[in-house]
Structure 1
Amino acid sequence: MLVVDDDEVIRQLIAVNLQLEGFEVATAVDGQDCLDKVVEVDPHVITLDVMMPRLDGWVTAVRLREDEATRHVKVIMITARAQDHDIRRGHEIGVDAYITKPFDPNELIRTVRELATGRVG
């Protein structure tokens, strides 16, 4: 798992919830940090905020999809951007799931588990 969010409180909240469920978690502070760490961490799933400095979540997701080494990684957008056009944009980019803030930790865990294992339910 790689948790990417520029807000330290949100980043730690996501990381702790995932760690409590047994996931091994690394963190990144923005999109550029994510791209710098992703090959080393080799996550199955990345949670990605949209609005971040240096490199936002949209550009980061596009770059992850364009790179042969990271194309397979499942991406969950976790963002306050909840407009229909934002969600549509995420799906057009190839994001695997879209969760809006404030999020339900149980929904997050369920979504991560489904994407990490390939099993729904």
Structure 2
Amino acid sequence: MNALPARVLVVEDDEMIRELIRLNLELEGFEVFTAVDGQDCIDRVDHIAPHVVVLDVMMPRLDGWTVAEHLLARRNELACRIVLVTARAQEEDRRHGERIGVDAYMTKPFDPDALVEIVRELLEGEQE
């Protein structure tokens, strides 16, 4: 019997990037949900119960930093891993991500295959 596919929530305000990520993850067999901004993510995360959240940093309503901190504060009940994908490539931004406890940090432009690999590695780490 096959296990259910892992659920990934992609939170990105740029529709083209959101769809690119969604398509690449779906092609790899993940069940993908999308949110258009941070507030949309917060509103839907309990219903979706994602295994991984791929999260843009610069978004309207709620930015990715705020959303990541919210999700991490609820890590025991949500049990999701967080990948930040952002145009903010400064070392201080990367360190901020490490400080708040995100699992991975990718800068735009990014290789979709590399993102899929990071998601896969995070999920494999959960199963160990």
Fold in common (TM above 0.5) = yes
In the aligned structure 2, how far is the partner of 1:47 from the partner of 1:7?
Answer: 13
Size of the aligned set, in residue pairs, is 118
TM-score normalized by structure 1? Answer: 0.94
Amino acid of the residue matched to residue 48 of structure 1? L
Structure 2 counterpart of 1:30:
37
Q: 1:93 aligns with which of 72, 85, 100?
A: 100
The residue matched to 1:22 in structure 2 has which SS? Answer: coil
Q: Could you list the runs of 5+ residues in structure 1 that have no partner in the other structure?
A: none
Q: Deviations over 1:30-82 (max 9, x none)?
A: 11100111111111000000000000000000001112422x21000001001
Identity of aligned residues (%): 59
Structure 2 counterpart of 1:47:
54
In the aligned structure 2, how far is the partner of 1:62 from the partner of 1:47?
Answer: 14
The residue matched to 1:25 in structure 2 has which SS? Answer: strand
In the aligned structure 2, how far is the partner of 1:105 from the partner of 1:84?
Answer: 22
Residues 1-121 of structure 1 mapped to structure 2, 5 A cutoff: 1-67=8-74, 68-70=76-78, 72-118=79-125
The residue matched to 1:3 in structure 2 has which SS? Answer: strand
Q: Deviations over 1:78-97 (max 9, x none)?
A: 01001000000001111000
